[in-house]
Amino acid sequence: MSDLRSSIEQSDSAQRRRWPWIAGALALVAIVVIGVVVARGGSGDTAAGGDGTPVRGGTLNFSLIDYQRSPDPQWGTNYAESLIAGNVTDKLLWQDPKTGDVTPWLAESWTYNPALTEFTFKLHKGVTFSDGLPFDAQAVKLNFDQYIKGDPALGITPNGAPLFPGYVGTDVIDDHTVRLRFERPLASALQAVSFTANAGPGFLSPNTLRLSAEQRSADATKVVGTGPFVYESWKPQVETVLARRKGYDWAPPALKHKGEAYLDRIVFRSIPEASVRTGSLTSGAIDATLDVGTTDEKALIAQGYKIIYRPVSGTAIYFNFNSQLFPTNDIAVRKAIQLGWNRDSLTKTVLTPSYSVASSVLQPSVPGYADYRGSVVRFDRDKAAQILDAAGWKPGPDGIRVKGGKRLEVKLLGINNLVVNTPAYESIQQDLKKIGVDLKLTVVPIPDYTAQQAKAKTDWNVVAANRSRNDPAVLNLQYSPELGNGAYIGPESPGIDQAEVTKVLGQIETTLDPAQRAQYTKAAQDLLLEKYALVNPVYNPSQVIAHAGYIHGIVFDAQSRNSFVAAWKGAADDNRADG
Amino acid sequence: MVGYVAGKVGRAVFVAWAAFTVTFVLLFVLPADPVDLLFDPATINTIPPEVKEQVSDNYGFNQPVVLQYFSRLWQALQGDFGNSVQSGKSVTTSIGEVVPHTLVLAFGALFLAIIIAFVIAVVATSTRNQWLRGFVEALPTAAVSVPVFLSGILLLQLFAFRLGWFPAFGDDGWRSLVLPLVALAIPVAGPIAQLLVRSFGTELQSGYVTTSRAKGADRTQIFTRDVFRNASLPALTIAGVTFGNLIAGSVITETVFARTGVGRLTQSAISTLDVPLVQGLVVFVAVTFAVINLAVDLVYPLLDPRLRAVAASTGGRA
């Protein structure tokens, strides 16, 4: 996102060269002045006491980097959109962020057929949308049909299609019973109805579903859900204000919160610039901020702010190897990259305590995760070199290995949307150079990444990203040759049994028995990490919030989005530093 | 004269058409399938083909390129650039909503910049103190050199976070406008001040000043009666030309100060490759430039008799 900005600044710099010393001197003076002021300014806020009994009322001022481009909860694909939408709408089920179990929410109970193609939900009675319409079976059907199939006449895209592949339809069985039907087994459907990340299945009032995309954006207050907060106002690019929903009494039982939200109001403020977010927090203009820079965490803790975080559940940041493109079509190269870089130095030089080095392609909170630090997810430079030697990769004149006259050059495509990505990849790049692998990095903004990814099959050896979905089926979605095919497995991939990969990964969608599912998930990880070395897990990204000590009860859900129904603001305003 | 006007108007229309066409080629034809950009990049490989097709169809991305071009051009001529793919809102509405915010910022900053520039120029040319003169003359260069981004952050650190005099963000009243205006005015003031310092210097050397002085006018009188008026015209011209600086600066100012506006909208439209919105914005900025230049071209002959003669004789280039 800084592309335009930096190009503008660079074009400025042509003129800058003429009087560099004046500019430099002025900047120096300014920095000294500010330094003096900062040093005199004292220590800022101190942590509040008053924990324990929640207090009702108050406004939470919360900042984040993104803004909500559309107030429609089923539409948005950025973090602000899913975060805010999650507090305006509710889901059928709540996934426990610790255990990964799905628990009741708007659905009190559920059953499914043995084939896992039909899922029947009994709805919680007495739930209403904030416009007064009842939340019933018909409303659920209207929502799923529009969400998954879209409505061209209203300009609604099929936002839910990736989450519910093979959706046939929803049957209204009685007022408070619905059945979702799918073409083929979809064990992950239960997790999908609890999904809180981008473009999620939060329920909108039938009155809202009748509106076009344009009408929903024109007046956010017409976007009506059953959630603990309702839209008060929405200013594109700037802020979204939510107000407490009166009469709300159906928070997920797992949260043990009864009745309405504690806060009167939440103001979500978009502040793109990191130093402004931090400065606004320390000057008391806001109470909490998401998207805390890694370098700011320590300083904020030192000033008495609380840092809370949760890893983004789903896959770790992965290096997906292209199994059909030279040189990553050689399993020796893939294995050497897995072993050839130092996890400790990454932890020490790049990551803060809020992040962790990956230990599998799955993030530890996903059910069925297994730990591979003992086998392939570890640093063993000698073994990596040995593997390459054995495969005929000989050190060339510049230290980079060569085989058949071709250099061991690995082209990586990554996204710069997370602050840690580029430094992490650079750390790995340096380590790999020592075993004779030349990792070439191209880390770009999201749209460029998306555009390049379309050519990844023929152009890129490694695609580096992550995928947020707290269900082991994420492996099938990401790597099955019939779905995401993250390793580009095909007839051109030497030594890989395509049918085996499809089958082993596909098994995850065929059972909901926890023990069996864990077994299938383990088998899938074994295949991806050990047998075919199709992925090199890097680190577990996190969502990090810094907040004042008087803020309590912000919950990270299973997808690491935040629920504010139980959040409260302590006897607090008095301890805020004045100005 | 009619030929001159027609030529200038023709050029403005050409600029707007070229902006539309170039963005169409760059955005719709070259990069990825625009449909891919509508989905979360992590899930892109798992989107069923029929879903992509349906979305393509919704936005008309599946039609032949030539047909898309002409239908979009026809709609654009009627002021319809389609709907933003990231919000569903009409592009025209999206831009229309934020334009007033940027206008307030841009014109406020331009006004402030002109004042700063005049103050600098007056001080630089009227003071007899060599040291002060040197310092003030260096200011415009320094102003141009400091990126808006840096000055914005410094202003915020000092006046918002430390001293608490002004809010760091928000658009509540005049106080929230002060810091962004100053940040944006600084680099814009630079070139105007440079020009003024130079033309004040030149005018002070010219014959009519000597004449005035001989008639017994003092320094202040010479300044206010003669030099000021004569030196201001080129400065006002350059103020018009710095419109580009203002637009570029507003992208950064709006981002740093978390304000709404055209700059911020452009930045986010580009960072999400919201194809219809980017196109609408590019055409909007191009048209604005063209209109400003057209206005300058048309007003100039009225102000300067020498140009009027040229316009009348060539009927074209001036």
pLDDT digits (tens, 9 = 90+) for A555-564: 999 999 999 9
pLDDT band of B121, cuts 50, 70, 90: confident
Percentage of chain A exceeding pLDDT 70: 90
Region A146-159: mean pLDDT is 91
Shortest alpha-carbon distance between residue B234 and chain A (Å): 21
List the one residue out of A21, A101, A9 whose CA is nearest residue A517: A101
Report all structural domains of chain B as residue ranges with CATH numbers, in order of start.
1-85+276-317 (no CATH), 92-272 (1.10.3720.10)
Res B217: pLDDT: 74
Q: How far is CA B282 from CA A71, A122, B11, B270, in A?
A: 25, 51, 17, 11
State the average pLDDT for chain A. Answer: 88
Task: Evaluate if residue B34 carries a pLDDT over 50.
Answer: yes
What's the pLDDT at B318? 42
Residue A431: band (very low, low, confident or very high) from pLDDT cuts 50, 70, 90: very high
Where does the pLDDT of residue A361 fall: very low under 50, low under 70, confident under 90, or very high at 90 and above?
very high
Q: pLDDT value at position A45?
A: 33
Confidence band, pLDDT 50/70/90 cuts, at residue A141: very high
- Diameter of chain A by CA atoms? 78
- Give the residue among A111, A81, A76, A255 at the shortest CA–CA distance from A189: A111
Those residues with Cβ within 8 angstroms of residue A238's Cβ, 6 or more apart along the chain or in another chain:
A67, A269, A270, B170, B171, B258, B259, B260
- Chain A contacts of B40, Cβ < 8 Å? 77, 162, 198-199
Q: CB A425: neighbour CB atoms within 10 A?
A: 24
pLDDT for the residue numbered B317:
45
A559 shares contact with chain B (CB less than 8 Å): no
Q: Given CB atoms, is A218 within the 8 Å cutoff of chain B?
A: yes
**Which of A258, A241, A262 minimizes the C-alpha distance to A250?**
A258
Q: What is the pLDDT of residues A472-507, one digit of tens each?
A: 999 998 999 988 899 999 998 999 999 999 999 999
Give A109's strand partners.
A122
For residue A397, count other CB atoms closer than 10 A to its CB.
6
- pLDDT given at position A44: 33
Q: Which long-range contacts link A185-188 to residues 24+ away (Cβ below 8 Å)?
A: A185/A115, A185/A116, A185/A117, A185/A509, A185/A510, A186/A116, A186/A117, A186/A509, A187/A116, A187/A473, A187/A508, A187/A509, A187/A510, A187/A511, A187/A512, A187/A517, A188/A471, A188/A473, A188/A477, A188/A508, A188/A509
What is the pLDDT at residue A24? Answer: 52
* Predicted local confidence at residue A46, as pLDDT: 34
**Least Cα separation, residue A567 to chain B (angstroms):** 24
Residues in chain B: 318
pLDDT at B23: 86
**Residue reference for tokens 């018909």:** A138
pLDDT at A12: 37
Confidence label for B135 from pLDDT (cuts 50, 70 and 90):
confident
B143 close contact with A: CB closer than 8 A: no
Using CA atoms of B282, B61, A443, A346 in order, give the dihedral in degrees to the nearest 10.
Answer: 130
- Which own/partner pairs from B209-217 qualify as long-range (CB within 8 Å, at least 24 positions apart)? none
A534 class by beta-carbon count within 10 Å (0-12 exposed, 13-18 middle, 19+ buried): buried
Cβ neighbours, 10 Å, residue A513: 11
- pLDDT the model gives residue B267: 83
Which tens digit of pLDDT belongs to each residue from B184-208? 888 888 888 888 888 777 777 777 7
Higher confidence at residue B138 or residue B277?
Answer: B277
Residue-level pLDDT at A208: 97
pLDDT average, residue stretch A153-178: 92
Of A115-119, A522-526, A538-542, B22-26, least confident by mean pLDDT is B22-26
Specify the 3-state DSSP secondary structure of A167.
strand
According to DSSP, the residues that pair with A560 across neighbouring strands are: none
Query: Which residues in chain A are closer than 8 Å to B84, comparing Cβ atoms?
Result: 69
Q: For residue A318, list its beta bridge partners.
A: A465, A537
Helices B91-126 and B243-256 sit at what angle, rounded to 10 degrees?
Answer: 110
**C-alpha distances in Å from residue A443, one per residue of A423, B33, B216:** 10, 20, 70
Share of chain B above pLDDT 70, in %: 87
Q: Which residues of A touch B83 (CB under 8 A)?
A: 155, 213-214
Q: Do residues A424 and A352 lie in contact, with contact meaning Cβ atoms separated by under 8 Å?
A: no
For the cut 50, the answer to whether the pLDDT of residue A439 exceeds it is yes
Backbone dihedral angles phi then psi of residue B112, each to the nearest 5 degrees: -60, -40
pLDDT for A534 beyond 90: yes
Which residue carries 């430390």 as its tokens?
B162
Q: What is the mean pLDDT of residues A192-213?
A: 94
Residue A249 has pLDDT above 80, yes or no: yes
End-to-end CA distance of chain A: 31
At residue A87, the pLDDT reads: 96
Which positions 255-274 of B are in contact with A (Cβ < 8 Å)?
255-261, 264-268, 270-273
B37 close to A (CB below 8 A): yes
ipTM of the complex: 0.82
Whether A453 contacts chain B with CB within 8 A: yes
Residues facing residue A543 across a β-bridge:
A310
**Cβ atoms within 10 Å of A176's Cβ, excluding its own:** 20
Predicted TM-score of the model (pTM): 0.83
Residue A518 has pLDDT above 90, yes or no: yes
Check residue A2 and give its pLDDT: 35
Q: Which domains does chain A have, with CATH numbers?
A: 6-311+543-569 (3.40.190.10), 317-540 (3.10.105.10)
Cis peptide before A327 (omega within 30 of 0): yes
Other CB atoms within 10 A of residue A152 CB: 14
For CA atoms A377, A381, A387, A388, the dihedral sign is positive
What's the pLDDT at B232? Answer: 65
CA distance A16 to A14: 5
Q: Which residues pair with A234 in a beta bridge?
A: A240
Residues 6+ apart with CB under 8 A from B115: none
Q: Measure the CA–CA gap between A403 and A440, rounded to whole angstroms.
A: 18
Across the strands, what pairs with B247? none
A276: chain B residues, CB-CB within 8 Å: 153, 156, 168-169, 256-258
At residue B36, does pLDDT exceed 60? yes
Strand A177-182 vs strand A118-123: parallel, antiparallel, or unpaired? Answer: antiparallel
pLDDT over 90 percentage in chain A: 72
A41-99 confidence digits (pLDDT tens): 333 333 333 457 899 999 999 999 888 888 999 988 788 899 999 999 999 999 999 98
Least confident of A155-159, A228-232, A386-390: A155-159
Cross-chain CB nearest to B87 (options A20, A33, A70): A70
Q: What is the mean pLDDT of residues B27-40?
A: 70
- The minimum CA-CA distance between B55 and chain A, rounded to whole Å, is 6
Contact by Cβ (8 Å): B63, B29: no
Q: Which amino acid is at A151?
A: D
Q: What's the rounded Cα separation, in Å, for the pair A475 and A467?
A: 9
Residue A125, min C-alpha distance to chain B (Å): 33
User: How far A290 CA lies from chain B's nearest CA (Å)?
Assistant: 15
